Amino acid sequence: MKVVLENVTKRFPNRDKKIKTEVTAVNNVSFTIPDGKLIGLLGPSGCGKSTTLFMICGLHKITEGKIFFGEDDVTNLSPENRGVGLVFQNYALYPHMTVKQNIMFPMENFKGEDKLTKEQMLERTMQVAKLVQLDGLLERKPSELSGGQQQRVAIARALVKMPRVLLLDEPLSNLDARLRLQTREEIRRIQRETKITTVFVTHDQEEAMSISDEIVVMKDGVVQQMGVPQTVYQDPANLFVAKFLGTPPINVFTGKVSGGALYIGAEKIMATPGVADQDVYVGIRPEGFVVSDNGCLTCDFRQVETMGGFMSVVSTHENSENPIIRSTVTDDIKIAEDAKTVKFDIKPNKIYIFNKETEERIRIEG
Amino acid sequence: MVNSKHQWKAWIYLAPAIAVLLVFTVWPIFNTVRMAFLENYSGLEATNGATFSFGVGNFVKVLKYKRFISCLKNTMILCVLTVPISTILALLIAVGLNSIKPLQKILQTIFFLPYVTNSIAIGMVFAAMFNIVGAFYGTENELIVTAGIINNVIEFFGGTPVNWINYGSQYSANIAVMTVYIVWNALPFKILVLLGGLQSINKQYYDAARVDGSSRRRIFARITVPLLSPMLAYVVITGFIGGFKEYTSIVGIFGENMGPADDAGRLNTMVGFIYDSLSTNSQGRASAAALILFGIILVVTLLNLYVSKKKVHY
């Protein structure tokens, strides 16, 4: 089921009733979620991603705009008539029901020709339980389950009614780091097996990048960029997207374009044909640095850090926006312990320049 | 755990409370049991130096009393009627209050007002409302001129006025008035407890149920009530305990007569019986009745707890 958002806007009345102006949580958002894909809605907290999810679900009324499931306009449909499955951030499992009763609950609401017999319900419960690997736990109460198991019950409860769209609100935020890794693969697997169009909300870019077919990056209620994770990472539309994606984060410098070349401080970094002279932000991915004696960028050397399989050079630069510059490097580099400076060459495809005012990407021709 | 070195300090802090409890709770309880098992014990005679033999005569006597059986019956009937009615009404009102936004605080206050009002005063108002005539007690041939507001309403809708509580009134009419009054009086506390319970239920359960397409009735039956069950159990248990101790409400409506003018004592309750026994210096009889009342409350509470253990989700 394809999901289309058309100029969707959500405004909330101000909490302080004396202030008449409304708060715009989601501002004119349009995007299309292809059928059967797993989409990550990504952004910092308060960016409107959960509000967007709840509007797709129907729990939040839309102020302006339209939402379509396939060809159906569902804008004014209540959640129960949209055929969506929703997994809440804290799962919202009914504490007084067993796992089995929790999973069966949505099916008991079926009316008319959809109505199922007790046997059919049980059969479907068993199928879904098997899919999310809960087979042996059906008679337990939610309080007797671990966080990861509760999560799977919540997913099973959302899946059992065979929704047209599955929505997950911060599905992994209540799990510990190890379980989070495992569960996100699980979500990926379940989505692949069921082929249900799935939207999930997260503020963790790694999570979104690792399992999504496409990601939608949001900020202040506005979609910044949508696309395949790797593409968005390699080709950010603006400084915000560049900063938000990637661990360790991108290194940002102030620089300027002058006479067809990019400068950081006094050092010429690269040629920028066709770019007008101006002050810019320069973003360089950590993996874009190559330690080289004849490098074009000179930084003050701090230390070399080794973490597991990664090695990074930590340095500073007076034009750096970040307090330190972190560059991931191959482990055969040689820098003297007492070195004062380190020189880098920059890989041209790992460097982006952004307009200083609008923070929009400036693309270099050629 | 209190360090044994400092235990004496803990005891000193507790001492005032323990002393008060010993004098006003523990000793009276012990004394009640003692008096109940002393044949025909009377406080007045005891101070004159009389001695009483040990036995269960007080209990036998109490249970043979016609008046005691009538008191027991009244208490039971009122309990069985008022506890379920007030609990269900309180639940509906609490759910209603919880689902409205504007005026919620004001309505909450209005519903809570009876709780802070004196029950004798409320009783007098109710008596006036259910009266046939302003203050006509007396013979059967009295002409009805004006009626209490309830009868006015009944007449307005074309019904015949009912003699609710006056001379010659029916027992069933008396019980109906008492039920209305006790339910009305019991509502505020129950609403308060249940509303508190409702407000502590996570809203996401309702969102989840809505997304799953549950009807409001199903949400109420399958989610609200089970999640509220600890509060419901509490309200029912305290309701029964309160019901068995019913006394002031009868006084409030019928005065010390405990019944209509032509049948004094008809609506007397267990506590009323104990009170009457004490006033005639029959402490043995009063104690025995009190122990019987205690036994009944104990059994009913245990029954409640047994049921709630199976039905209540904590």
Beta pairing, strands A64-69 & A3-12: antiparallel
d(CA B80, CA B72): 12
User: What pLDDT, on a 0 to 100 scale, did the predictor assign at position B134?
Assistant: 46
Q: Is A58 on the interface with B (CB under 8 A)?
A: yes
Q: Sorting pLDDT into bands at 50, 70 and 90, what band is B164? A: confident
Residue B92 lies in domain: 65-311
Give pLDDT, residue A63.
Answer: 92
Would you state the pLDDT for residue B88? 96
Q: Is the pLDDT of residue B138 over 60?
A: no
Is residue B23 one of the residues assigned to a domain? no
Residue A292 pLDDT grade (very low, low, confident, very high; cuts 50, 70, 90): confident
Q: Quick check: A57 contacting B, CB < 8 Å?
A: yes
Residues of A in contact with B210 (CB under 8 A): 59, 78-80
Residue B307 has pLDDT above 90, yes or no: no
Cβ–Cβ contact A114 with B under 8 A: no
Which DSSP state fits A90? Answer: T
As given in the structure block, the two tokens for residue B79 are 């309990």
CB contact under 8 A, B213 and A106: yes
pLDDT of B135 = 45
CA distance B313 to chain A (A): 6
Range of the domain at A331: 251-362
| Residue A75 sits in the same domain as residue A122 | yes
Q: Over the stretch A226-260, which tens digit does the pLDDT of each residue have?
A: 999 999 999 999 999 999 998 889 999 999 999 88
Is the Cβ of A55 closer than 8 Å to some Cβ of chain B? no
pLDDT tens across A65-74, in order? Answer: 999 999 999 9
Query: Looking at A226, A244, A262, which one is the last position of a domain?
Result: A244
For residues A283 and A176, state if they share a domain.
no
Residues A170 and A288 in one domain: no
Residue B19 has pLDDT above 80, yes or no: yes
**pLDDT tens per residue, range A16-44:** 777 778 888 999 999 999 999 999 999 99
Count of domains in chain B? 1
Tell me the nearest-neighbour CA distance from B132 into chain A, angstroms. Answer: 51
**Pairwise CA distance, residues A81 & A76, whole Å:** 10
Query: Can you state the percent helix, strand and coil of chain B, rounding each to 5?
Result: 75, 0, 25
Chain A CB contacts of B216 under 8 Å are none
Give the closest-approach CA distance of A106 to chain B in angstroms: 5
pLDDT in tens, B89-124: 999 999 999 988 888 889 888 888 888 888 888 888
* Cβ within 8 Å, pair A59-B210: yes
Residue A229 sits at the chain B interface (C-beta within 8 Å): no
Give the number of C-alpha atoms closer than 13 A to the C-alpha of residue A23, restricted to the C-beta side.
Answer: 13
Query: Nearest CB to A88: which of B208, B213, B226?
Result: B208
- How many residue pairs bridge chain A and chain B with CB atoms within 8 Å of each other? 57
Q: What is the pLDDT of residue B1?
A: 52
Instruction: Kindly determine whether residue A109 and residue B213, on different chains, have CB atoms separated by under 8 Å.
Output: yes
Query: Please, which residues have CB within 8 angstroms of residue B30's CB and are 6 or more apart in sequence?
Result: none
Nearest CA in chain B to A80: B213
Looking at residue B123, which CATH number applies to its domain?
1.10.3720.10
Residues 6+ apart with CB under 8 A from B250: B178, B258, B267, B268, B269, B272
Residue A98 token pair: 């067993």
Residue A277 C-alpha from the chain's centroid: 34
Q: From A102, which residue of chain B is nearest by alpha-carbon distance?
A: B209
- Chain B: residues touching A (Cβ < 8 Å): 202, 204-205, 207-215, 218, 222-223, 226-227, 229, 313
Based on the domain organization, do A177 and A59 belong to the same domain?
Answer: yes
Where is the domain boundary, A186, A214, A244?
A244
Please name the residues in contact with A340: beta carbons below 8 A apart, sequence gap of 6 or more: A300, A301
CATH number for the domain spanning A23: value is 3.40.50.300
pLDDT band (50, 70, 90) for residue A111: confident
Model confidence pLDDT, tens digit, residues A175-199? 888 888 888 888 899 899 889 999 9
Task: Answer positive or negative: Cα dihedral of B108, B110, B113, B114.
Answer: negative
pLDDT of res. B139: 55
Measured between CB atoms, does A84 come within 8 Å of chain B? Answer: yes
Min CA distance, A109 vs chain B (Å)? 5
pLDDT in tens, A329-352: 876 677 777 888 999 999 999 999
For A109-228, where are the alpha helices, taking DSSP H only? 118-131, 147-159, 177-194, 205-211
DSSP B220: I
Residues A237 and A276 in one domain: no
From chain B, pick out residues whose CB is under 8 angstroms from the CB of A161.
212
| Mean pLDDT over each residue of chain B, to the nearest integer | 87
What is the separation, in whole angstroms, between the first and last Cα of chain A? 40
pLDDT digits (tens, 9 = 90+) for B175-227: 999 999 999 999 999 999 999 999 999 999 999 998 888 888 999 999 999 99
Neighbours of A277 (CB within 10 A): 12
Sign of CA dihedral B234, B236, B242, B244: negative
| pLDDT confidence of residue B269 | 93
Residues for chain B: how many in total? 314
pLDDT for the residue A331:
67
- Identify whether B39 is part of a domain: no
Q: B234-288: per-residue pLDDT in tens? A: 999 999 999 999 898 898 888 888 888 888 889 999 999 999 999 988 899 999 9
Beta bridge partners of A263: A256, A268
Q: Is A121 found in the same domain as A238?
A: yes
Same domain, A150 and A222: yes
Give me the pLDDT at residue B154, please: 83
Answer yes or no: is B251 within a domain: yes
pLDDT in tens, A134-189: 888 999 999 999 888 998 999 999 999 889 999 999 888 888 888 888 888 888 99
Distance of alpha carbon B250 from alpha carbon A354, whole angstroms: 84
In angstroms, rounded to a whole number, what is the distance separating the alpha carbons of residues B237 and B304? 7
Q: Are strands A251-258 and A278-284 parallel, antiparallel or unpaired?
A: antiparallel
pLDDT value at residue B71: 94
Strands ordered across the beta sheet of A165-169: A84-87, A165-169, A197-202, A38-42, A214-219, A222-227
Based on the fold, state whether residues A89 and A237 are members of the same structural domain: yes
B204:A79 CB<8 A: no
B227, A95: Cβ pair inside 8 Å? yes
Q: CA of A141: which chain B residue's CA is closest?
A: B313
Regarding whether A324 and A219 lie in a shared domain, the answer is no
How many domains is chain A built from?
A: 2
Same-domain pairing of A137 and A8: yes
Tell me whether A101 touches chain B (CB under 8 Å): no
pLDDT for the residue A177: 84
The CB density around residue B298, as the number of other CB atoms within 10 Å, is: 11
CB-nearest partner of B202 from A81, A92, A96: A92
With residue A255 as reference, give the H or E element that holds it. strand A251-258
What is the distance between the alpha carbons of residues B210 and A86, in angstroms, rounded to a whole number? 10
Residue B276 lies in a domain: yes
Q: How far apart are CA B62 and CA B147, in angstroms?
A: 40
A268: closest CA among A300, A288, A239, A298?
Answer: A298
pLDDT confidence of B31, banded at 50, 70, 90?
Answer: very high
Distance from the B208 Cα atom to the nearest Cα atom in chain A, whole angstroms: 7
Contacts of B206 in chain A (CB under 8 A): none
Q: Would the CB atoms of B226 and A58 count as touching at under 8 Å?
A: no
Q: Does the structure show a pLDDT above 70 at B145? A: no
pLDDT in tens, B39-68: 888 888 888 888 888 889 999 999 999 999
Nearest to B253 by CA among B113, B69, B93, B74: B74
pLDDT at res. A317: 93
CB B210 within 8 A of CB A80: yes
- Closest CB to B313 among A78, A88, A96: A96
Q: Do A88 and B227 touch (CB under 8 A)?
A: no
Distance separating alpha carbons of residues A239 and A306, to the nearest angstrom: 28
Contact of A88 with chain B, judged by CB distance below 8 Å, is answered with: yes
* pLDDT digits 0-9 by tens, A55-96: 999 999 999 999 999 999 999 998 888 989 999 988 999 999
Distance CA B265, CA B71 (A): 9
B308's enclosing H/E stretch is helix B283-311
Q: Which of A44, A39, A35, A36 has its CA nearest to residue A228?
A: A39
Minimum distance, in Å, between the CA of residue A100 and any CA atom of chain B: 15
CB contact under 8 A, A106 and B223: no
Residues A215 and A255 in one domain: no
Q: What mean pLDDT value characterizes chain A?
A: 90
| CB A225 within 8 Å of CB A361 | no
CA A363 to chain centre: 24
pLDDT at B137 over 60: no
The per-residue pLDDT for B140 is 58
Domain assignment present for residue B125? The answer is: yes
Residue to substitute from A54, A86, A111, A160, interface B, most B β-carbons within 10 A: A86
Q: How many CA atoms lie within 13 A of A54 on its CB side?
A: 20
CB contact under 8 A, A79 and B211: yes
Same domain, A353 and A237: no
